Amino acid sequence: MKTLLSSVAVVTLLLLQAPQTLAQADVTRSVTEIAPDVYRLQNNFHYSMVVITTEGAVVTDPINADAAGWIKTEVAKLTDKPITHLIYSHSHGDHASGGAVLAENATVITQANAPNLIDGVKPTLRFDDTHEFVQGDKTFELTWLGPGHGEDLIAVVVRPANVAFITDAAAPKRLPWRNMGGANIDNWIDQVRKIESLDFEIFAPAHGNVGVKADATDARIYMEQLKTSVLAGLKEGKSIDDLKKDITMSDYKDWSNYESWLPLNIEGMASFLESSGQVTAN
């Protein structure tokens, strides 16, 4: 009887633990120091940035509630000082959810167009075009990128490391996301131009691999070439299927998501060009 009870107990314990173990195994997480005191924290396909200053930690996007709890734990390993600032790159839910645990005693910074509450967190400092602050031995330069991908997207440049944390507008050697989500792609290209106008060396994206400033220019040229090709094809009366066959963008075949997202990029660009009146629909 005692053996039976023990077996039941063990089985119950395994059943209770199994989902949690599986859930943890599904999440890929890493912490990488990309410049002195500047860390990239990975949660699957999303990255946040944490900067350790002499007065505490400055944290960017919480990603989601689980990730934010983990980020808080990792920050405590890097400094015994508090999180002084939580900076939202923008308010899209896949980057900006679950911030409450990081916001507790922090200045919460967003661009002025962000909602009043971001997943329950109330921003305490909003800015229109730029905002700069010094925290301990680091300087943070925040710049609104204008409308395009979202209305409240900003870049965060950290000095003296000269790292730029850039979310969604561009990423080194990586195609834009799927069909670009119905955005005004001309505005989006202007956002990338704004990134190019900033002074930085290391390009720390919220998706994909770390790069350099020149990667922003390459990302903009990709979008411009895609636009030129799709526009020309539509003006010749080609169908979307023909465009997908004809437009190979082969210079970019080594970029992330080339195979899977190029057809979607073409669809998104065609849809934008038609909806914005740059070409009439077939």
The percent helix, strand, coil of the chain (3-state, each to 5) is 40, 25, 35
Burial class (CB in 10 A: 0-12, 13-18, 19+), 275: exposed
Please tell me the distance from the alpha carbon of residue 61 to that of residue 71, in angstroms, as a whole number: 10
Torsion 26-44-108-36 (CA) sign: positive
| 174 forms part of the interface with Zn ion (CB under 5 A) | no
* Site for Zn ion, residues 154 to 173, rule: CB under 5 A: 168
Residue 176 CB, shortest distance to Zn ion, in Å, is 11
The residue range among 52-60, 91-99, 119-127, 267-275 that interacts with Zn ion, by the rule CB under 5 A, is 91-99
Torsion 17-23-25-28 (CA) sign: negative
Residues near 83 by Cβ (< 8 Å), separated by ≥ 6? Answer: 56, 57, 58, 59, 72, 75, 102, 104, 105, 106
**Tokens found for residue 250:** 């082969």
Residue 191 CB, shortest distance to Zn ion, in Å, is 11
In the complex with Zn ion, the residue whose CB is nearer, 58 or 170, is 170
In the complex with Zn ion, the residue whose CB is nearer, 161 or 175, is 175
In the complex with Zn ion, the residue whose CB is nearer, 151 or 246, is 151
Residue 93 CB, shortest distance to Zn ion, in Å, is 9
Q: Write each residue from 135 to 154 as x if it is in contact with Zn ion (CB under 5 A), else as -, in one continuous string.
A: --------------------
Q: Which residue has 């094809």 as its token pair? A: 233
CB 90 within 8 A of CB 191: no
| 92 forms part of the interface with Zn ion (CB under 5 A) | yes
Strands (E), 65-124: 83-87, 107-111
The number of residues in the chain equals 282
Residue nearest to Zn ion (CB): 92
| 194 forms part of the interface with Zn ion (CB under 5 A) | no
In the complex with Zn ion, the residue whose CB is nearer, 88 or 247, is 88
The residue range among 10-18, 85-93, 214-222, 223-231 that interacts with Zn ion, by the rule CB under 5 A, is 85-93
Residue 150 CB, shortest distance to Zn ion, in Å, is 5
CB 129 within 8 A of CB 123: no
CB 259 within 8 A of CB 174: no
In the complex with Zn ion, the residue whose CB is nearer, 75 or 166, is 166
The residue range among 41-49, 70-78, 84-92, 116-124 that interacts with Zn ion, by the rule CB under 5 A, is 84-92
Residue 95 CB, shortest distance to Zn ion, in Å, is 6
Residue 112 CB, shortest distance to Zn ion, in Å, is 17
The footprint of Zn ion (CB under 5 A) covers 92, 168
